Chain A
Amino acid sequence: MKVSRLYLAFVFFVLYMPIFYLIYYSFNSGGTMHHFESFTLDWYKEVFADTRLLVIVLHTMIIALLSSSLATIIGVFGAIAIYYAKHRWKQTLLTLNNILIVSPDVIIGASFLILFTIAGIQLGFTSVLLSHIAFSIPIVVLMVLPKLQEMSPTLIDAARDLGANEWNVLTKVVLPYITPGIFAGFFMALTYSLDDFAVTFFVTGNGFSTLSVEIYSRARQGISLSVNALSTLLFLFTLFLVVVYYVMTQRTSVKGGQK
């Protein structure tokens, strides 16, 4: 028992060590990540004074929200289409759907780069947005499809029996039933988009950049504690999202779990 506790403690320590290391040195006036001189908020001031960085944060947010919303809409209807598809098509569709999930990022990035170049789409906001939508769709489908499959088919029969036409069935039964899956899919798409580096790195251009790409280029130039400050802010933002998500799911599960 004691050994197992130690083991878990060690795993968690290693898991969080780098993150807190970053946060700790973001308050270092020394300018390096190894010698803590004194406490300062200068790096945060620098982050907030850096308009270029703030624009990039804004871009990242816009791309994430837009792409995950659009991917959710397309993905939900895709999942419904797969759900209704004839049995022998279902497997083929699912395989096609999952290709982008299991593909290494470099391949997605490289192939999209070729695609956009051939289609004559200028590399920048549009190409990044399209790419993010593209790799988010299958995630949404995978989150929504189990909810559809878990739904008893007699529910649809029951709705039709009570006079519902196809539109009623969709809006009054199917969509409300799969709402938790839709939310989960949206959140997953959001995090994938915020987290993506490799695909964006391939298809961006023309001065358009997202946070990941920006951090990469700054990190390649060496250590700069404004990156630490930025990561602290991002970590807090992530924590905030987690709490929001947790509270939301907790609320629905309490609603669903009452006896």
Chain B
Amino acid sequence: MRRYAYAIPYWLWIGLFVIAPIILIVYYSFFDIEGHFSLVNYETFFTPVYLRMTFNSFWYAFLITAISLLIAYPTAYLLTKTKHKQLWLLLIILPTWVNLLLKAYAFLGLFGTYGAVNALFEALGIGTKQLLFTDFSFVFVSVYIFIPFMILPIFNALEKLNPSLIDAARDLGANEWTTFRRVIFPLTLDGVKAGCQAVFIPSLSLFMLTRLIAGNRVITLGTAVEQHFLVTQNWGMGATIAVFLMIAMASIMALTGNKKWGVRQ
């Protein structure tokens, strides 16, 4: 055991900041707002209001993930074909290092009633639209924020792909589309899954965007957790929602993180 002594801080971290918080969340979910032990939070969670919110959260998360994937895959694919691909990739990563709040803030200006986008709409003759504080702006900004995290793993998966496999497919008579569908896409599926994980899970907890961009029109589970912990001080209810978020997260991980998939290919 002596040789593991150097890792004591790490073991402490696992105990205090990984295991303990999970236990605490579950523990708190069994207390009502007055601090009495009860199952009232779970009863509340299964009322239409919360079930609807849960459904909405997952629907938005799904939309954000799907749109990100649709835009990111071609982007990643085209990036691997460019000349200075490492430089272009760096340019994709660079915006992720700009604070998320600043990017959200930028859209306050862009999407504002007199903002650049509406000015463009005006010029095109579409007319001014209410962009801010809509579902659309929430999804758009979320996709904007997450898209590099989708591009990156797909790009890496494409880069790892052995180019002679594509030659082989072409040699065996597959056209470009068949090659993509039967060879390239299946072999980059791990990258796609990693990307979906990196987008879907965080998009469940974008409370700051719902507040800034969607103007409380979109209430997701993440917003509700924040509301209960920091505004209404009903920690029990917040913890209950967190429990369901954790369950959802674990099932998504189990679904997409299955390594056996790789073997089957």
Contact = CB atoms under 8 A, between A and B. Distances in A.
Given A4-B81, A18-B107, A102-B249, A219 B101 contact: yes
Contacts of B229: 109-110, 113, 202
Contacts of A49: none
A21 B106 contact: yes
Interface in A65-83: 73-75, 77-78, 80-81
Interface string B91-123: 110111111111111111110101110010000
Contacts of A197: 99-101, 208
A111 interface: yes
Contacts of A39: none
Looking at chain A's contact residues, the main secondary structure is helix
A160 B104 CA distance: 54
B97 A238 contact: yes
Contact of B106 (A19, A114, A202, A216): A19
B239 interface: yes
A115 interface: yes
A195 B99 CA distance: 5
Interface residues of B, number: 77
A114 B28 contact: yes
Interface residues of A, number: 74
B115 A34 contact: yes
B72 to A, nearest CB: 9
A100 to B, nearest CB: 6
Interface in B168-203: 197, 201-202
B14 A110 contact: no
A194 B101 CA distance: 12
Contacts of B74: 4, 7
A125 B229 CA distance: 20
Interface of A: 4, 7-8, 11-12, 14-19, 21-22, 25, 32-35, 73-75, 77-78, 80-81, 84, 93, 96-97, 99-100, 102-115, 118, 133-134, 137, 166, 191, 194-195, 197-198, 201-202, 211-212, 215-216, 219-220, 222-223, 227, 231, 234-235, 238-239, 241-242, 246
30 contacts: A4-B74, A4-B78, A8-B88, A14-B144, A15-B147, A18-B103, A18-B144, A34-B115, A74-B9, A77-B7, A81-B10, A104-B202, A104-B204, A107-B225, A107-B242, A113-B229, A115-B16, A115-B20, A115-B21, A133-B13, A134-B13, A137-B13, A137-B17, A191-B97, A194-B99, A195-B100, A215-B101, A235-B98, A242-B97, A246-B90
Given A18-B103, A107-B242, 12 more contacts: A7-B74, A8-B82, A18-B107, A18-B110, A77-B6, A78-B10, A100-B18, A102-B253, A107-B205, A137-B13, A201-B208, A238-B97
